[in-house]
Amino acid sequence: MTGEETEYFDAGHRACGGCGPALAARLITKAAGEDTIVVASTGCMEVFSTPYPETAWKTPWVHSLFQNAAAVASGVEASLKKQGRSEKVVVIAGDGATFDIGILCISGLFERGHDVTYICYDNEAYMNTGIQRSGATPYDADTTTSPAGKLSTGNQRPKKDIPAILAAHGSPYVATASVAYPTDLMKKVKKAIETKGPCYIQVHTPCCTGWGFDGAKTMEIGKMAVNSGLWVNFEMEDGVVTKAKKVKREPVDAYLKAQKRFRHLYRPAENTEEIAKIQAIADKNAEKYGIDIKMPNKN
């Protein structure tokens, strides 16, 4: 951040203190700039930013329904094209709207090749309705519809690989980012907007309320996710991974222990078996994206 950009997501919205998605909205609009039309899905961000008659958005903004932001954006883009207008269309939608209920419309948008940047703010569950699991919820996370219990260790399915699905649609640019790395996020937003065709960015947006951590630690939690290998910041161009942030990986323990959604793995006793499974997910990510910084061999 150079600090020179104008803010397009204003203060005074109603998000929780330390809200990852609110920070994402600010960074995305800052990077996208003035000549942008934002299309939103129903969700936390929509609700905390636009209670009538107040709005936090200083760019044109439109919300219709939970699952149709991609289709609304398709129409906005077609209209702008017909009118010969220059604004760029940016969708900002949550993970429930993206991974689950909206995937039909998203598939349509990407297959048709509209010049739209679709950004998913991924807080890994349905937070607006009270922390229910989505297709983006990580393995073993405790949510209100995947509660840990006597017979369950929480969410039993791994996170859906939406970047791969959209890359398979022929998207020229697919990336993941994190609010904990603002410069990287903004660079990727600019790149997506400058790239013609449908581009996708999935932004890790820690949710202090849903994940159970102190709102002062949002950036720290985001960094821990990246350092654990459970979240990888990467770029795919024309379906090929061209860049992935390398890290000196740390065991997943620190990241898990910092959040209440995983505390059942440590209480009453440490569930080493389940923690090992989560570590295996991180190890697999590290191998797939080649993110481990290799220690120089002194011999």
Partner 1 sequence: MLQIMEGSHAVAEAVRLSRPEVVSAYPITPQTHIVERLAEMVADGDLDAEYICVESEFSALSSCLGAACAGSRVYSATTSQGLAFMAEVVFNVAGMRQPVVMTIANRALGAPLNIWNDHQDSLFLRDSGWMQLYAEDAQESMDLHFLAYKAAENYDVLLPAMVCFDGFILTHTYEPVDIPTQEEVDSFLPAFKPYQRLDAKDPISFGMYATPDYYQEFRYEIHAAMIKAKKVLREVGQEFSETFGRDYSELVEGYRLDDADTAIVAIGSVCGTIKDAVDEMREAGRKVGLLKIRSFRPFPYEDVRVALSGVSKVAVLEKNISIGSRMLGAVGLEVKDAVGKQGADVYSYVGGLGGRDIRRKDIHKLADWAEQGRNDCFFGLREELL
At 261, list the tokens. 């959604």
Supply the minimum distance, in Å, between the C-beta of residue 1 and partner 1: 22
Compare residues 104 and 254 and give the one whose CB is closer to partner 1.
104
Per DSSP (E only), the strands in 64-140 are 88-94, 116-122
DSSP state of 17: T
Compare residues 77 and 124 and give the one whose CB is closer to partner 1.
77
CA–CA distance from 129 to each of 120, 145, 211 (Å)? 17, 11, 14
Supply the minimum distance, in Å, between the C-beta of residue 97 and partner 1: 13
Supply the minimum distance, in Å, between the C-beta of residue 281 and partner 1: 32
Compare residues 23 and 105 and give the one whose CB is closer to partner 1.
105
Q: Confirm if 100 and 134 have CB atoms less than 8 A apart.
A: yes
Q: Confirm if 62 and 13 have CB atoms less than 8 A apart.
A: no
Supply the minimum distance, in Å, between the C-beta of residue 113 and partner 1: 11
For residue 244, the surrounding DSSP H or E stretch is strand 240-244
First-to-last alpha carbon distance for the chain, in angstroms, is 41
**Closest C-alpha among 218, 203, 194 to residue 117:** 194
Centre a 10 Å sphere on the Cβ of residue 4 and count the other Cβ atoms it contains: 6
Compare residues 35 and 161 and give the one whose CB is closer to partner 1.
35
State whether residue 52 is helix, strand or coil: coil
Supply the minimum distance, in Å, between the C-beta of residue 266 and partner 1: 38
Compare residues 72 and 125 and give the one whose CB is closer to partner 1.
72
Supply the minimum distance, in Å, between the C-beta of residue 85 and partner 1: 8
Compare residues 3 and 53 and give the one whose CB is closer to partner 1.
53
> Which residues are at the interface with partner 1 (CB under 8 A)?
34-37, 39-40, 46-47, 50-53, 55, 57-65, 67-68, 70-83, 87, 104-105, 107-108, 111-112
Residue type, 234: F
